[in-house]
């Protein structure tokens, strides 16, 4: 019984979960991604830190708006980041075809056709995107503008 009480006390004092004490400070960051001036839905916007390899990412909604998260926590680390953008397949949000359906059988026998990205492939690679974003103390509003 005393052993159980000791374990409970230790867990209470040390905490359960949360960010490690040496985790970098995160700053709120959100933004809008557009392609040729129009909001880009279902896009994964990724910021890659040059200083520690920390990655922040957020998925855009129908209005192109995204909120960045790092390791499951809201925000991004301070500094200059390389930015990549990839459009997720439309089916990533929708349900998988029902097992036994014609669509399912076609997918299983013919294989899924690779989805063609609606944006140039250069944006999906940090080395070729040409995009950067600066995260500073406090809230950050990022505009990611893509074009042909």
Give me the CATH number covering residue 35. 2.60.40.10
| Per-residue model confidence (pLDDT) at position 50 | 83
> Which residues form the domain of 132?
24-89+117-148
Query: Which residues face 34 on adjacent strands?
Result: 39, 145
| Per-residue model confidence (pLDDT) at position 8 | 40
Q: What is the pLDDT of residues 98-132, one digit of tens each?
A: 655 666 566 556 655 556 889 999 999 999 999 99
Polymer length in residues for the chain: 148
Mean pLDDT of all residues in 5-20: 46
- What SS3 string covers 34-54? EECCEECCCEEEEEEECCCCC
Q: Do residues 58 and 47 make contact, with C-beta atoms less than 8 angstroms apart? A: no
Q: Is residue 96 part of a domain?
A: no
d(C-alpha 37, C-alpha 43), whole Å: 15
Q: What is the pLDDT of residues 49-77, one digit of tens each?
A: 987 678 999 999 999 999 999 999 999 99
| Per-residue model confidence (pLDDT) at position 88 | 85
* Overall number of domains in the chain: 1
Q: Is residue 98 part of a domain?
A: no
**Global pTM value:** 0.72
Q: Is residue 17 part of a domain?
A: no
Q: Is residue 1 part of a domain?
A: no
Q: Is residue 136 part of a domain?
A: yes
Mean pLDDT of all residues in 35-53: 92
Q: Is residue 6 part of a domain?
A: no
Residue 145: pLDDT band by 50, 70, 90 thresholds? very high
């Amino acid at each position: 019984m005393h052993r159980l009480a000791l374990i409970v006390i230790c867990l209470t004092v040390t905490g359960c979960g949360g960010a490690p004490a040496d985790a970098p400070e995160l700053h709120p960051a959100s933004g809008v991604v557009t392609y040729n001036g129009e909001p880009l839905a279902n896009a994964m916007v990724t910021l890659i830190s040059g200083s520690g390899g920390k990655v922040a990412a957020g998925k855009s909604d129908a209005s192109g708006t995204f909120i960045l998260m790092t390791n499951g926590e809201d925000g991004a680390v301070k500094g200059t980041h390389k930015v990549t953008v990839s459009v997720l397949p439309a089916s990533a949000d929708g349900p998988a075809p029902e097992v036994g359906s014609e669509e399912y059988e076609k997918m299983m026998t013919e294989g899924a056709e690779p989805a063609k990205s609606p944006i140039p492939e250069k944006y999906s690679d940090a080395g070729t995107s040409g995009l950067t974003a600066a995260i500073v103390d406090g809230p950050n509003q990022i505009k990611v503008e893509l074009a042909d």
